[in-house]
Chain A
Amino acid sequence: MGQRIRIKAPRAGSRALTADTLLALILGLPILAGLAGVILPAFGYLPALGGSGLKRDHFAELASQPHILRSSLTGLLAGLATTGAAVAIVGTFLAGFAGTPVFSRIQHLVSPLLAVPHAAAAFALAFLVAPSGFLVRLVSPELTGFTRPPQWLVPNDPLGLSMVAGLITKEVPFLFLIALAALPQLPLRQSRQLTAALGYGRLGGFLVSLWPALYRQIRLAVFAVLVYSVSVVDLAIILGPQLPATLPVRIAQWTADHDLGARFLASAAALLQLAIVLAAVVIWLLVERLGRFALARLTYSGRRLRNDAVPRFVSACAMAACAALIFLGIAILCIWSVAGLWPFPNDLPAELTPQTWLRTLPQLWPALQTTIALALAAAALALLSAILLLHHNGASGRGGNGPRYRLLYLPLLLPEISFVFGLQILIVSAGLKPAFASVLAVHFLFVLPYVLLSLSAPWRELDRRFENIAAGFGKPSLQILLTVRLPLLLRACLTAFAVGFSVSISLYLPTLLIGAGRLTTIATEAVALSSGGDRRVIGVYALVQASLPFLAFLIASLGPQLLFRNRRAMRT
């Protein structure tokens, strides 16, 4: 038996190597090429615009841009603050409530939030908190005496607090969902019983016993959140500081500048953005070390932290507030989508009209078909690839840790804006017409890491003894995969599919650039319209865009409930 394994292992390893290398090449090359398409212009090489020599002028130009340091720092700090707060909220909430009835209730509340596109959530939030927004309207003029909106600098406050708030409300559900997928693999009940028996409070017990294992599983997602928040564009335009705007917003403006020479500047800035993301990652690694140190101190101190009611309450409130803000925001977008004139300080519009929906739906239909087709295809392809990849790597028992494999996460860990423009040049020069296939390929590139991310942790943590038993019966590995592992992981697979589906739905920049605008999806339509600022139409598009992933997540969470209604352990 031992001999057999020793003979088989290298063969399985080499087969995995080729499969990995191939996939890593397919995914990694476009990204590296896209980066090259940014790095070369940053150093002055873009022959179409007459730049043929290598020089560093564009970095000097970048350095001389007004307030560039402040733009860079605001984005960096906002990203770090968002990540810290999101991890703290999700961690504390899981620690305090995992396994309780409150937990499952909030779980059902929060999951659909992931589906709400960032831009739509930002609009909803902006309308809620603005001086002429819904919350002020509710109490005006009765309590405040305002008959005209006050001059408060919210949103777009200089410290970026409203942007951070917007990001947190969007990133908390994402981290939560990833953690949720990893949670069933942890010995939650046993640890709870053990730490309770030792006299720990719920929070303290979870922190000491389960948090390190849980954090390891959600770590990549945390980094994805960090990179995303440091380099966010659409949400920052709506909620972030304006004077000066954060660096990613300014890059987006430069890439769209009428002065084509600004593209060199944009490329240089995209490299700077890359450096900032790197700095953020380094800082976060330090934060992790500090956290590990603090946790070790806490563990060895033996303190039981029995009085944790306040932090538990706060985390539950924060969780509920994220959900409430977005739900309220979406509800108000709903009202806007049927509103006639709705002036300040009226709480509700004077009249309701279906006009906006009637006008918008016919135009929306073709885009909707493209969106769904793209998302289904990209998510299915990505899920299939992820399963194959994990299956091959599974032989080593430590899937997902090889260096080539890490390349797959590059789209997640690189700021989009740093390489999509370069990628566009590559795709066009490869002689590809902008078409469904090339856009699908790019969607696949962005969807796969998310799918892999959400699937790999549960995959790795599944008790291997199920498969060992099946192997003991002499079943071939493919049959074991299909009849044992995949059914056991059905919920994780469906969640991964839903994550992939919603990522594809929300992709804007890649769809626009690679599709050359010829492939319209709900996302490209929504952002184009949001530049027109009509809240009614934004309401319609945001609702449609949010409802698609919502359906996917609904299926992901209801599917196992229905399929396994007589298998209690598999419903969670």
Chain B
Amino acid sequence: MIRRAGKIIIAAATLALGFAVDASATDAGDWEAVVAEAKGQTVYFNAWGGSDNINAYIRWAGGEMKARYDVDVVHVKLDDTAKAVATVVAEKAAGKNDDGAVDLIWINGENFAAMKREGLLFGPGWATRLPNWRYVDHETKPTVLRDFTIPTEGLESPWGGAKLVFFHDSARTPKVDLPDSAAGLLKWAEANPGRFSYPQPPDFTGTSFLKQVLVELIDDKAKLQRPVDVATFATDAAPLFAYLDRLTPLLWRQGKAYPQNYPDMKQKLADGELDIIFAFNPAEASSAIANGELPETVRSFVFSGGTLGNAHFLAIPYNATAKAGALLLADFLLSPEAQLRKQDPKVWGDPTVLSLAKLSPEDRSAFESLDLGIATLNPDELGPALDEPHPDWMTRIEAEWIRRYGAAN
């Protein structure tokens, strides 16, 4: 044991000196070799496992991978993507630069930024060399190339799009009363105290709401594309916190408790505790209605000035065991067939990252004839997409939020 402990320290010290060796020769450019190498591999796909329909979709993809390429896919269900990051960190700390436990991660935002910064990712450039990259809409959807303003540099392959969308129960809250901006939402909360809330930061959906307000209220939006300027942060964020100071006493439980996450908000909408909730997937409401989780009277709306939009991705750790299998899976998930199935609200309802114009006529018409569901807005009704701020903003605002509102009781 002691000798082993010595080994850890030596290995760790080696790493500290900056030797992170990419031992793999797997190259997305030589696709035939990738397919051949992947045969018989097992891909450990680390993805958030909190949603039944997403899990079912991943299971379907796994079945297809087995049938077509003889690749086994094991869905490692996480409650937080950071756990997969933690695994890779622990492996790196232990000097395990090959045969890592994680082959593919469902990732975006700060998890990606952190892994990229620490050099924990395989690549760069593999994502743009995947065969199905040619269908990706990187012209009108800049979010597939810049993940929360961080250039992806082909370190991660886009999987789906996301857009902040609000839901309400039309049986309780008539459409005419609905807010059309963050300022309007505050007015609405004054008239309906206790019926709005957001998941407690650092929950991803909750911080997204803070960002939405920040983007709407900050004097110069261009500042958000750069890391935070420490000198001006207080004044830059002042409008956001003035807004929250007014909103907090009007929140559910007067802001003394918050929903845990989006599904918790969804439950609270059904329970009648909340009247307006929001999600990052425009199809959430329709699929929840189909599952009997929300009443059929629930509808979607957005702010006409725009709401946040982003994309989510697939990345491969630098020490993944089955890199070829992971590449193959990432490519399959990007295929028109898999993307079509993913966008079907009966399956998952996650918006595609592909450009319909680049697809074959059959695929295009298949996408166009998808029934998006009763509560889902059409793509042209979704309004403009606001850019995600640099991840630095999120970190700062989270910390400031906890300082200000973290002991509300």
Contact = CB atoms under 8 A, between A and B. Distances in A.
Interface in B197-230: 200, 202
B294 A531 contact: no
Given A52-B13, A52-B16, A434 B260 contact: no
Contacts of B36: none
A401 interface: no
A47 B13 contact: yes
B46 A259 contact: no
A29 B1 contact: yes
B7 A529 contact: no
A359 B56 contact: yes
Contacts of A50: 16
Given A132-B273, A151-B252, A533-B267, A256 B80 contact: yes
B84 A517 contact: yes
Given A151-B252, A258-B110, A425 B90 contact: yes
Given A256-B83, A518-B74, A433 B93 contact: no
Contacts of B178: none
A517 B78 contact: yes
Nearest to B99: A433
A426 B1 CA distance: 9
B131 interface: no
A425 B77 CA distance: 21
Nearest to B268: A132
A48 B77 contact: no
Contact of B77 (A151, A241, A528): A528
A534 B265 CA distance: 11
Interface in A497-555: 512-513, 516-518, 520, 524-525, 527-537
B11 interface: yes
Interface string A341-373: 111110000010101000110010000000000
A557 interface: no
B378 interface: no
Given A149-B273, A151-B194, A528-B50, A243 B83 contact: no
Contacts of A259: 110, 114, 395
Contact of A428 (B90, B293, B395): B90
A559 to B, nearest CB: 36
B95 interface: yes
Contacts of B114: 258-260
B86 interface: yes
Interface stretch (B137-145, B352-360, B398-406): B398-406
A341 B91 CA distance: 44
A256 B86 contact: yes
A77 B201 CA distance: 26
Nearest to A527: B79
Nearest to A51: B16
A46 interface: yes
Interface in B235-273: 252-254, 256-258, 260-261, 263-264, 266-268, 270-273
Which bracket fits the contact residues of A? 35 or more
B85 interface: yes
B256 A421 contact: no
A263 interface: yes
A256 B83 CA distance: 6
Contacts of B61: none
Given A258-B109, A343-B271, A430-B4, A517 B263 contact: no
A529 B53 CA distance: 12
A190 to B, nearest CB: 50
Given A47-B93, A363-B59, A529-B49, A67 B101 contact: no
Nearest to A257: B82
A301 interface: no
A84 interface: no
A538 to B, nearest CB: 10
A66 B101 CA distance: 35
Contacts of A33: 1, 5
A464 B247 CA distance: 71
A117 interface: no
A528 B15 contact: no
B32 interface: no
Interface in A19-72: 29, 33, 36, 46-50, 52, 66-67, 70
B101 A434 contact: yes
Contact of B46 (A257, A340, A517): A517
A562 B55 CA distance: 44
A341 B294 contact: yes
Given A132-B268, A258-B110, A260-B118, A242 B258 contact: yes
A156 B409 CA distance: 10
A46 B90 CA distance: 10
Contacts of A46: 12, 93
A253 interface: yes
Contacts of B46: 517
Contact of A258 (B5, B51, B111, B266): B111
B34 interface: no
Contacts of B55: 363
Which bracket fits the contact residues of B? 35 or more
B30 interface: no
A345 B96 CA distance: 55
B4 A429 contact: yes
B87 interface: yes
For B59, B90, B114, B294, the residue with the greatest tally of chain A CB atoms inside 10 Å of its CB is B90
Given A52-B13, A66-B402, A132-B273, A517 B77 contact: yes
A421 B7 CA distance: 18
B301 interface: no
B89 A512 contact: no
Interface string B277-303: 000000000000000111100000000
B297 to A, nearest CB: 10
A339 B271 CA distance: 14
Contact of B52 (A47, A243, A360, A433): A360
Given A66-B407, A151-B253, A428 B402 contact: no
Contacts of A534: 52, 263, 267, 293
A528 B79 contact: yes
A132 B92 CA distance: 46
Nearest to B82: A256
A255 B90 contact: no
B108 to A, nearest CB: 10
B74 A153 contact: no
A341 B270 contact: yes
B347 interface: no
A399 interface: no
Contact of A533 (B11, B93, B261, B395): B261
A533 B110 contact: no
Contacts of A351: 292
Given A66-B402, A532-B263, A517 B101 contact: yes
Interface in B4-24: 4-5, 7-8, 11-13, 15-16
A486 to B, nearest CB: 33
B89 A48 contact: yes
A48 B253 contact: no
Contacts of B264: 533
Nearest to A151: B194
A534 B295 CA distance: 15
B409 A158 contact: yes
A66 B406 contact: yes
A525 B55 CA distance: 11
B322 interface: no
B299 to A, nearest CB: 16
A244 interface: yes
Given A244-B402, A343-B270, A531-B80, 8 more contacts: A66-B406, A341-B293, A341-B295, A424-B90, A426-B5, A429-B8, A533-B261, A533-B267
18 contacts: A33-B1, A48-B15, A48-B89, A70-B407, A243-B407, A244-B407, A256-B83, A258-B114, A263-B89, A343-B295, A426-B94, A516-B102, A517-B83, A518-B44, A524-B77, A531-B50, A532-B51, A537-B52
Report the 6 A-B pairs with minimum CB-CB distance, sorted nearest first.
Answer: A532-B50, A158-B409, A47-B16, A429-B94, A48-B93, A533-B263
